[in-house]
Each structure stands twice: as C-alpha cells, then as structure tokens.
Amino acid sequence: MKFLKQPWQRRHLVEAFMKFIMRVSLVFVAGALGLILWIVVVRGLPALSWSMITQIPKGGYYMGKEGGILNAIIGSLYLATGGTALAMIFSIPIALYLKTYLGDSQWGHYVRLSLDVLWGIPSIVYGAFGFTLMIAFGLRASLLAGIIILALIELPIMTRAMDEVIRRMPVDLEHAALALGSTKLEVALRVVIRQMLPGITTAILLGFGRGIGDAASVLFTAGYTDRIVTSLMRPTASLPLAVFFQLGSPYPEVQRRGYAAALILTIIVLAVSLGSRWISARLNKYTIK
C-alpha cells in the first residue's frame, strides 16, 4: 500500500517525542496551579466565615479570638484599584505616544528599554524607594503613598502590555485613517485606541493582579492598621500583609485564617480576571485581526 503509516520513521518519532515533552510541561504547570489552589482551598475554606469578610479584627483577634479582615479586603481593593487607575492615566498616553510619534525609532527603543528595566525591579526596592522619599518629605505611611508606589510598579507592566498590542496593529489600518485626512492624533485617539481596547483590559488585569498581590511595597508605604481606612492620608491594611502576618503567627487557628485570607485574595483576582475577559471578548468585536 502506498500510504501506509510508518510510525518508526525518524521524523515521526521526533514528532511523537516532542509532543510528549510539551504535554509533560503542560501537566507540570497545570499541576502546580492546581496544587496551589487546592492547598489554599483545603486549608483556607474551613476557616473562612461570614464574620471574616464582614468584620474588622477585634481585641485578641491575632490570638485566635473574634473578628475578620474586612480592613485588609477594603484596603487592598482601594490600593489596587487606585494604583491601577493612576497607572492607566499615565500608561495609555505613553503607549499611544510610543506608537504615534516614537515608533521604532532610537528614542522609542530607549523608552521601551527603561520600561522593561522598571518591570524587572523587585517590589521591595520600590517599597524602599518610596519609604526613602516619604522620610525625605516627612510623610507617614498612608493609602495615598501605597497607591502611588503600586502605580509605579504597575506602570511598566501596563504600558508594555498595551504597547505590544498596538505594535501588532496592521499598518494598513493607520494608512486608511490617514488617507481620509486624519491627523496623527486623530488616528491615535479614534482608531488605535479602538483597536487597542481588548489590550487595555488585559493590561488592567495584569496591573491589578500585580498590585493587589504585592506585599513588599505596601509594607513600607501603606503600613498596616486594624481599622478600615477612611482617608487617603491614613495607613491601611492589605490582604497580602494580612496573609503574611497571620501565617507567621504561632496560633494554628490564626494560621488557618491566613490561608482563608489567601483564598479571599485568590477569589478577588479570579473575579477580576474573568470579568475583564468577559469585557475583552465584547470589545473584541470590532478589532481588526
């Protein structure tokens, strides 16, 4: 027969082997994710209670008595939302400027390089930097300082995420708009941004995820408090630090609450992730592939 299968031929063997390696990698990664979720759920779920998400720590909470971590939940939502919003305000114009006026020029290259370097800086360094500045200006740890530091951390991530999306935009699209007599700014604001909308939601997701999960930077800049924050100038609690402090406790019931706090954090990130995917899919309708 002319078309007989020859599984022992070298190229078919190589393909089978490579496919196997790819599958193993996939199983490893999926397994790690599954394990993380499993541990957080198994350890955190029993300790998760209604009072945990509706109350602030009461006297003796850190020794296992009554209370919850509403202060940290609200603090983290404020911090991450504020940081992401602030980072958006700066990253969208930077991304558009990179595309519209710098392009692939030498300057564009430098800006991208510095953003990539900023992306790689550990958050503890951002925290230390923010702390130094606060001392220099005589400021105390506050929600505002935390938001600013988180915005700085999120800015390079969000800008580069958007930049990569815009750079993949077909040049014909830009030319089509220019041919109708658009200025470069009109192309940027009316065409590029439309094309970029799904990219913006991805950027928000990345930025928010990084911001809400970051412990080191807010440790120095936002501080920690058992009260619900009411002013930008006051310190605030945050979920990552709530996890950290409670897991470090010698009391087993407090440790379990640490896992519960981690579970809450994971659920928030998951919700934001799914929500932005949903929005992204709807915005995707008009983009040119």
Residues at the site binding other proteins, with contacts judged by CB under 8 A: 170, 172-173, 175-183, 186, 190-191, 194-195, 285-289
Q: Which is nearer to other proteins, 165 or 219 (CB)?
A: 165
Q: Which is nearer to other proteins, 85 or 189 (CB)?
A: 189
- Residue 77 CA to residue 63 CA, distance in Å, equals 26
Closest residue by Cα to residue 163 from 93, 106, 89, 105: 93
Show Cβ contacts of residue 72 under 8 Å, excluding neighbours closer than 6 positions. Answer: 237, 238, 239, 241, 242, 261
State the nearest-atom distance from the C-beta of 186 to other proteins, in Å. 5
How large is the angle between the packed helices 239-247 and 252-283, nearest 10 degrees? Answer: 150
Q: Which is nearer to other proteins, 31 or 170 (CB)?
A: 170
Q: Which is nearer to other proteins, 12 or 190 (CB)?
A: 190
State the nearest-atom distance from the C-beta of 287 to other proteins, in Å. 5
Residue 208 · residue 273 · CB < 8 Å: no
**Chain centre to alpha carbon of residue 239:** 14
- Residue 42 CA to residue 47 CA, distance in Å, equals 10
Show Cβ contacts of residue 57 under 8 Å, excluding neighbours closer than 6 positions. Answer: 67, 68, 69, 71, 226
State the nearest-atom distance from the C-beta of 167 to other proteins, in Å. 15
What are the backbone dihedrals phi and psi of residue 160, each rounded to the nearest 5 degrees, phi first? -70, -35
State the nearest-atom distance from the C-beta of 189 to other proteins, in Å. 10
Residue 247 · residue 52 · CB < 8 Å: no
State the nearest-atom distance from the C-beta of 194 to other proteins, in Å. 5
State the nearest-atom distance from the C-beta of 91 to other proteins, in Å. 20
Q: Which is nearer to other proteins, 63 or 288 (CB)?
A: 288
